[in-house]
Every structure is written in C-alpha cells, then in structure tokens.
Amino acid sequence: MKKPVLNIQTLSVYISTTLVLLLLGIMGILFVSGQSVSKRIKENFSMTVIIDSKTDEPEILKLKKDIDKKEYVLNSQYISKEDALNEAKESLGTDPMELLGENPYEAEIEINLKKEFSDVENMTKIEKELLGKKGVSEVIYHKGHIDTVNRNIRKVALLLLTLLVLLTVISWSLISNLVRLSIYSKRFLLHTMKLVGATWGFIRRPFLLHNMWIGLVAGLIANTLLGTAIYMIQQRSPEFASLLPMRELAIVGAAVIAFGIVICTMCAFLSVNRFLRMRNNDLYFI
C-alpha cells in the first residue's frame, strides 16, 4: 500500500482535528485556571486567634511556633497590641487611645489555612483545638461567608468539569467521523487487499500509523496555538497569567497530544475493521 499523500481530504482531516483539539485544550486550560482560582481563594481564608491580655510576648511567640507546626497551617502572622493599634489609627484616621485612655486591642495571630482544611467542618475542629491552648481567649472566622464561597466554588468546578466531559465526548464523535470518512473512500482498496490474501494486521498497519501521525501533528499544532495565546496573555496581563500554573498547563498540553493520537488511532482501527468485515456487495450500499 502506498504511503498516504497530503491531498485536500487529508488536509481537511488535519485542520478539523486540530480545531477540535484546540477547543478541547482551551476548555482544559479554563478548568485548570478555575482550580487555581479556587485554591487561591481557599488559601486566603483566615482564622484570627485572639490572645489573652495576661499572656506575655515570649509565651505568644512560643504559641505561634507551636501553631506553625500544625498540618493545616499555610502561614501565620503575629500582630502585637501595638501593631493592631497602629493599623486602627491608619484605617480610622484617629487614635482610639485618646478616646478610651488605653489600648483596646489584644494581640492576635492571623492564620491562613491550606486549601484542604478551608471548609467549615475542618475549621470548627481547628477552632476547638486552638481554644484548648493556653493563652487563647477567642478564635474568629466567618463561617457563613466561608460556607457560601465553598458552595459556589463547588458549583463552578462541577460546571467546568461537566463542560469538559461533554466537550470530550463531542470531540471524540467529531474526530471519529472525520477518520471514518477518510477511510471510507478507501473501502474498496481494503477489500481488494483482503482478497489477495493480506492479513487484517497488515492492512490496518498503514492506516493506524497514518492516523496516529495526524493525531500527533494536530496535537502539536493545537499546543503551539495555545502556547502562543498564553504567551500573549502573560505579556499583556501578568496578573491573569499567574492563574495559569505551568505544571498543570504542561499536563493539559500532554493530554491534548495523547488524546489526539489515541482517538485517531482507535477510530482508524474500528473503521478499518468495520470495512474488512463487510462483504463486497455491502460496500456499495453504505
């Protein structure tokens, strides 16, 4: 069998497959960026540990060191009574001590949690644990706000995942039809090779290799276009580009290429087998 040439039909398969993989890659990037935004939001959830006024600074620093060792802590910050007073002066534009005669603020430790622990259930457990520590008088966090944000994040993640799965199914269907149509025009050649004694494996091999190559090239072109778009975004909007983690983007790129190769090869395998199973007369009526 001759090596397939790049005719109009083959070129259309390349272009169509590239466009389908490009669309799939865009959806994958949106899903990854959505997960990145979700992680960033959750890691901004904080708990404020109010320190008892009788606790001296060395004990507070020891408490902070102990808290930093906990598996749920992403980072923490110690805010002394003086720091809290200075922040109040800046935000209020006046000195509370002039009105009250004393510093009304207590020292506190601001804790940012890892995303795995940024939900109401885990934060309630953490609150109980922190309240049991010496020198802690109160733990403050916004339960209602956190619960609402987490609920909305789950809804968005589910929507993006549903769209990604739906688009994957549609992509599979479109590429399958493209490959089947490209092999359809060679159905009589397949039957002729079968009649002269060629094995099914021998007949299938060039079609599989050819379509594997189509999937690889289409995936590479799609990734090149996606990479160019991401580069332009990085140049024009570095803030938005920070939501596109390189490791996850590399996984999306690899998945696009793998998907192109696998689907094109599998569709070619199924299509060739379908035509090989048919009798000669049946080939005229499909």
Q: Which residue has the higher pLDDT, 191 or 163?
A: 163
Paired residues of 108 in beta bridges: 50, 79
**CA 49 – CA 184 distance, rounded (Å):** 70
| pTM exceeding the 0.75 threshold for the entire prediction | no
Q: Report the pLDDT value the prediction gives residue 218, as an integer from 0 to 100.
A: 92
Band (pLDDT 50/70/90 cuts) for residue 88 is: confident
**DSSP state for residue 119 in the 8-state scheme:** S
Q: Report the pLDDT value the prediction gives residue 99, as an integer from 0 to 100.
A: 67
Q: Report the pLDDT value the prediction gives residue 3, as an integer from 0 to 100.
A: 44
- Lowest-pLDDT range, 24-33, 235-244, 274-283? 274-283
Band (pLDDT 50/70/90 cuts) for residue 283 is: low
Q: Is 34 helix (H, G, I), strand (E, B) or coil?
A: helix
Q: SS3 for 169-238, per residue?
A: HHHHHHHHHHHHHHHHCCHHHHHHHHHCCCCHHHHHHHHHHHHHHHHHHHHHHHHHHHHHHHHHHHHHCH
Average pLDDT, the chain: 82
Q: Report the pLDDT value the prediction gives residue 1, as an integer from 0 to 100.
A: 41
In the predicted structure, residue 5 carries a pLDDT above the cut 70? no
Q: Report the pLDDT value the prediction gives residue 7, as an integer from 0 to 100.
A: 65
Band (pLDDT 50/70/90 cuts) for residue 203 is: confident
Burial class (CB in 10 A: 0-12, 13-18, 19+), 246: exposed
Contacts of 233 (CB under 8 A, 6+ apart): 240, 241, 244
Portion of the chain with pLDDT greater than 90, in percent: 9
In the predicted structure, residue 217 carries a pLDDT above the cut 70? yes
Q: Report the pLDDT value the prediction gives residue 284, as an integer from 0 to 100.
A: 58
Tokens of 108: 């506190």
The bridge status of strand 136-140 relative to strand 108-113 is unpaired
CA angle 192, 193, 198 (to 5 degrees): 145
Q: Report the pLDDT value the prediction gives residue 222, as an integer from 0 to 100.
A: 93
The pLDDT of 69-83, averaged and rounded, is 87
Contacts of 282 (CB under 8 A, 6+ apart): none
Q: Report the pLDDT value the prediction gives residue 256, as an integer from 0 to 100.
A: 92
Domains in the chain, please, with CATH? 8-40+149-285 (no CATH), 46-140 (3.30.70.3040)
Q: Are 241 and 230 in contact (CB under 8 A)?
A: yes
